[in-house]
Amino acid sequence: MGRLLIVSNRLPVTVHKRRGHLHFEPSAGGLATGLSSLYKSYNALWIGWPGIDRKNSSADRDEIREKLLAQNCLPVFLSQREVDEYYNKFCSATIWPLFHYFPQYASYSESAWKAYEHANQTFCDAIVEVWQQGDIIWVQDFQLMLLPRMLRSRLQDPTIGFFLHIPFPSIEMFRMLPWRTEILEGIMASDLVGFHTWDYAGHFLASVRFLLGHESWMGRIPVGDRSTRVDVFPMGIDYSRFASAANSPEVEKEVDKLNESFRERRTILSVDRLDYTKGILQRLDAFDLFLDRNPQYREKLKFVLVVVPSRTMVARYALLKKQIDELVGAINGKHGSLRWTPITYTYRSVPFESLVALYRRADVALVTPLRDGMNLVAKEYLASRTDGRGVLILSETAGAAKELGEAVTVNVNNEEDLVASLETAFAMTDAEQGERLRVMQRRLRRYDVRRWAEDFLNTLQETASAQEELRTRVLGAQARRKLVKDYQQAQRRLLLLDYDGTLVPFFSRPSKAVPTQEVLELLSTLSNSENTDVVLISGRERTSLNGWFGELHIGMVAEHGVWLKPKGADDWEMFESLNAEWKEEVRPIFELYADRTPGSFVEEKDFSLAFQYRRSDSRLGDLRARELVLHLEALTTNLNLQVLEGSKVVEVKNSGVNKGRAAQRWFSEGNYDFILAIGDDWTDEDTFRALPDGAWSIKVGFGTTAAHYNLGSPGKVTTLLRDLLTVED
């Protein structure tokens, strides 16, 4: 296996220049702290910005590079101006607010977007320089959403994973972004896309479906000759680091100091990066109200508010800082006394041991972001409570709430709820605290940051191998040449061709899928070639096929094998005698589902009924289809009928009739030495399975199939058919 290239905006090491000397310090933030503890154990190279202006560092660049490389880090140098435009404007003032459901804070600037593109390009150049075949690239977060696509266009079949650490918002938010298509296409070039929760993954899939028109199947989105997998990996923490630090003498000493200063008082702790998404002001307001309502707690508790400076260059953050300062002052003024200051406020990064000591000393952790991708502070608090005490109050809108059901969860917009949660926390018995903690701790210990990374990387490897398999199944140049040669040298040929989705793409209404002139001419030329039989095997009813292809010298199969029309025959014949009385009973059920599903309709053929929902909202359509199938299965057990689910269609027909049995009629009668079957959906699988050895079979699109090869689209099928007719010199 090659190396692991981790790519993120910031390196886990930040470089500062003070009084002419370079200093290398660990970076802050969830991603850096999470991944840095484990990347050293992989054969990894971490690629990112070292946090120092390109201009300031120009003379020292070689030294920085060398020292960072010794720590397996490769710096990407950006100027302060580039960082201002790309990071402070586009990332922090466009993507961040929009993805956290603050559209009113989002600004849309073309020049910031250009800077974002340019920065992604700079990262791409740096990676292209060091990438070797076999290396795995793992791109992190919203600063680099265009990077996967850029890399795919420059490297030969790279393996790329992408993880988004912030929420992926609902389509109603995401569609507001002027560059939404570019962003989606950028991410979609990855082999694997990871999110913290199913909600985010679902929102992403909905945006891909709605804005790019790509459907997904079991978290896989096939596009062209590859597919993108979307999955959920809730990020964990370095659990044992926190748990063992909690009992260390250094932390013990820090806890003693805290005890001295807080004395017997109960403590509420909150720890955040300075950010409006973290709900710091709302939390303070709720604390104010809690003190109003609960005078018995006066002088008996302490609210420890720790805020780490962040994005201070962005005006909104500077304003938030001012608002927090003022509100803390106001609450302390209102409730405090000479002996007691209710809120202890720290605005700086806190050393690890002090942080763990705070976690250990806090009776309650108040983690109430308005919106948060995951929130690692909540998990760090739990891991540090080796003493089996402590209550976590957690906002429903933090990704972590999906895993931490035993926390006291709150709706942060409901101040009453927040106040009540504090009352609940203070009233909770030690036994209950311990019980809740133990369940959450067990989960966090198992799925720690190492498992998270391993899980992501294993899934990425699996996806890459599946991609490789897919590539080998695609009808490549060599197999194609052999197919054309076999066709041209054969004495008797049979072409079994499906129509919808194979010769023409799908349309929202089946009646619109009229054959193009090109398809008609191709079918005509092929069927007029010597010793060549062309058979159209379709699910459509006879009238459409007759209307479109009646003039051609070809064989036809309608309604998935119910009706056959041999070449040159005037009339259709029934494959075997069938009855359709069942339709009277089943039709009302179909109609009921169609009435309840806007955009759907019931298609009636001689021996089948179909619920077509390609034009419906696809989530509703899929749901109704599943309900309909269950309903029908119960009803049709005694009726010798089969229920089939296809691409946006549920169909009921007489059992025992299928395309494979119809196709057999042709190849068992003619003495063919070349047979080619092409189709795109489940009904064509019957044809593929029925084929004799040595026949060629091609599925249009990707996914599991009995066919030997895949082709990407109907356009590629027509090109292949044209190639059959082209004799090479």
Q: Which residues of 195-213 are buried (b: 16+ CB within 10 A; e: fewer)?
A: bbbebbbbbbbbbbbbbee
The single residue among 235, 246, 324, 496 that binds ligand ADQ, judged by CB under 6 A, is 235
The residues in 395-424 that bind ligand ADQ, with binding defined as CB under 6 A, are none
| Residue 31 is a binding residue for ligand ADQ (CB under 6 A) | yes
Least Cβ distance, residue 527 to ligand ADQ (angstroms): 60
Nearer to ligand ADQ, 273 or 699 (CB): 273
d(CA 676, CA 688): 10
- What is the separation, in whole angstroms, between the first and last Cα of the chain? 44
Least Cβ distance, residue 377 to ligand ADQ (angstroms): 4
Tokens of 49: 């910005």
Nearer to ligand ADQ, 272 or 500 (CB): 272
Least Cβ distance, residue 721 to ligand ADQ (angstroms): 50
| Residue 448 is a binding residue for ligand ADQ (CB under 6 A) | no
- Biggest CA–CA distance in the chain, Å, is 105
| Residue 375 is a binding residue for ligand ADQ (CB under 6 A) | yes
Nearer to ligand ADQ, 234 or 501 (CB): 234
Distance of CA 36 to the CA centre of its chain: 24
Residues 32-51 as x/- pattern, contact with ligand ADQ by CB under 6 A: -xx-----------------
d(CA 146, CA 124): 9
Distance of CA 97 to the CA centre of its chain: 20
d(CA 711, CA 392): 53
Q: Kindly state the number of chain residues that form the binding site for ligand ADQ, as judged by CB under 6 A.
A: 24
d(CA 1, CA 457): 12
The single residue among 211, 223, 289, 350 that binds ligand ADQ, judged by CB under 6 A, is 350
Tokens of 69: 């490389």
The residues in 269-288 that bind ligand ADQ, with binding defined as CB under 6 A, are 271-273
d(CA 528, CA 495): 13
d(CA 526, CA 567): 13
Residues 161-200 as x/- pattern, contact with ligand ADQ by CB under 6 A: ----xx----------------------------------
Nearer to ligand ADQ, 273 or 385 (CB): 273
Segment near ligand ADQ (CB under 6 A), from 374-382, 454-462, 690-698, 717-725?
374-382
Instruction: For 215-266, give the DSSP string.
Output: --BTTEEEETTEEEEEEE------HHHHHHHHTSHHHHHHHHHHHHHHTT-E
Segment near ligand ADQ (CB under 6 A), from 23-31, 85-93, 412-420, 568-576?
23-31
Write the CA distances from 385 to 79, 346, 350, 381, 492, integer angstroms. Answer: 43, 22, 18, 7, 78
Nearer to ligand ADQ, 236 or 679 (CB): 236
The residues in 296-335 that bind ligand ADQ, with binding defined as CB under 6 A, are 306, 308
| Residue 677 is a binding residue for ligand ADQ (CB under 6 A) | no
Nearer to ligand ADQ, 34 or 186 (CB): 34
Residues 242-271 as x/- pattern, contact with ligand ADQ by CB under 6 A: -----------------------------x
Least Cβ distance, residue 349 to ligand ADQ (angstroms): 4
Segment near ligand ADQ (CB under 6 A), from 30-38, 205-213, 249-257, 603-611?
30-38
Sign of CA dihedral 706, 710, 713, 717: negative
Q: Residues 135, 498, 533, 680: which is the catalytic one? A: 498
84, burial (CB in 10 Å: exposed 0-12, middle 13-18, buried 19+): middle
**Which residue has tokens 């010794």?**
70
Least Cβ distance, residue 263 to ligand ADQ (angstroms): 23
| Residue 451 is a binding residue for ligand ADQ (CB under 6 A) | no
Least Cβ distance, residue 433 to ligand ADQ (angstroms): 22
Mark whether 498 is an active-site residue. Answer: yes
d(CA 722, CA 537): 19
Segment near ligand ADQ (CB under 6 A), from 4-12, 22-30, 285-293, 619-627?
22-30
Q: How many alpha carbons lie under 13 Å from residue 6 in its C-beta half-sphere? A: 24
Nearer to ligand ADQ, 31 or 93 (CB): 31
CB atoms within 10 A of CB 93: 21
Write the CA distances from 615 to 231, 334, 510, 538, 618, integer angstroms. Answer: 27, 60, 11, 21, 8
| Residue 380 is a binding residue for ligand ADQ (CB under 6 A) | yes
| Residue 721 is a binding residue for ligand ADQ (CB under 6 A) | no
Segment near ligand ADQ (CB under 6 A), from 8-16, 213-221, 369-377, 424-432?
369-377
d(CA 53, CA 80): 5
d(CA 537, CA 684): 9
What residues line the site for ligand ADQ (CB under 6 A)? 28-31, 33-34, 165-166, 235, 271-273, 306, 308, 349-350, 355, 372-377, 380
The residues assigned a catalytic role are 498
